């Protein structure tokens, strides 16, 4: 499923690139980073790994020099928890992926450095699995539409290529419970 979603995202980004004109309106890119899930693991005997690797594939359209629209496919990685229940070790994990659409407000501080703020909506899918050996097994996929907000900086290496660093915060739904996932990432974008 992940390969299928990544393939569809790459096709979307490639389609944006093919339709690009020479006026530097369309850009594509990608980032990698770390996500921190805000999940409750403060119970006795429970250990959690709430920080995980993440990535994002981006396609954007510059409406003018100060405003753009971005679409992206993202993976928030996988958070894991383990607990000892008597002599049995129970485990649980949640993996988040999704698509988002956001408006981006941009400002150039210098010719090379710029900043941006974004606000949008994401369709997030969280696959949850839990297992207590020889007693219980559970699997659920929760899909929800949630807000996303972010702040970032860009540094132009050339007219077409810019480095990108950003902080994003998304809400995700795990079962009936909403959690926040914060993401720090760095990457590159190419403007046509």
Residue 12: partners with Cβ closer than 8 Å, 6 or more residues away: 59, 71, 73
How much of the chain exceeds pLDDT 90, in percent? 64
- Mean pLDDT value across residues 105-125: 97
What CATH number is associated with residue 159? Answer: 2.40.160.20
Q: What is the pTM of this model?
A: 0.81
* 113 pLDDT more than 50: yes
How much of the chain exceeds pLDDT 70, in percent? 86
Q: Please give the pLDDT value at position 66.
A: 95
What whole-number distance in Å separates Cα of residue 2 and Cα of residue 74?
A: 10
Confidence of residue 24 (pLDDT cuts 50, 70, 90): low
Mean pLDDT taken over the chain:
87
- Mean pLDDT value across residues 68-91: 89
* 117 pLDDT more than 70: yes
Q: Which residue has the higher pLDDT, 5 or 10?
A: 5
Do 47 and 41 touch, CB atoms closer than 8 A? yes
Which residue from 127, 52, 137 is spatially nearest to 90, judged by alpha carbons? 137
Q: Which residue has the higher pLDDT, 159 or 176?
A: 159
Q: Name the residue range of residue 168's domain.
A: 2-191
- Mean pLDDT value across residues 124-146: 90
* 19 pLDDT more than 50: no
User: How many structural domains comprise the chain?
Assistant: 1
Structure tokens at 31: 């980032």
List beta partners, residue 168.
150, 183
């Amino acid at each position: 499923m992940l390969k299928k979603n990544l393939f569809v995202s790459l096709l979307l980004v490639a389609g944006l690139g093919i339709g690009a004109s020479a006026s530097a309106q369309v850009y594509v890119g990608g980032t990698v980073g770390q996500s921190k899930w805000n999940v409750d693991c403060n119970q006795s005997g429970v250990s959690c790994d709430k920080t995980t690797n993440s990535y994002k594939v981006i396609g954007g359209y510059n409406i003018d020099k100060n405003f753009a629209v971005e679409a992206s496919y993202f993976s928030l990685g996988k958070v894991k928890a383990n607990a000892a229940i008597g002599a049995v070790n129970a485990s649980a994990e949640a993996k988040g992926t999704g698509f988002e659409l956001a408006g981006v407000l941009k400002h150039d501080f210098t010719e090379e450095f710029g900043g941006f703020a974004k606000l949008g909506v994401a369709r997030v899918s969280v696959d949850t699995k839990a297992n207590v050996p020889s007693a219980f097994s559970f699997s659920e996929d929760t899909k929800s539409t949630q807000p996303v907000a972010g702040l970032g900086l860009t540094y132009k290496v050339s007219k077409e290529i810019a480095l990108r660093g950003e902080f994003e915060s998304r809400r995700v739904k795990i079962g009936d419970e909403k959690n926040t996932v914060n993401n720090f990432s760095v990457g590159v974008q190419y403007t046509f």
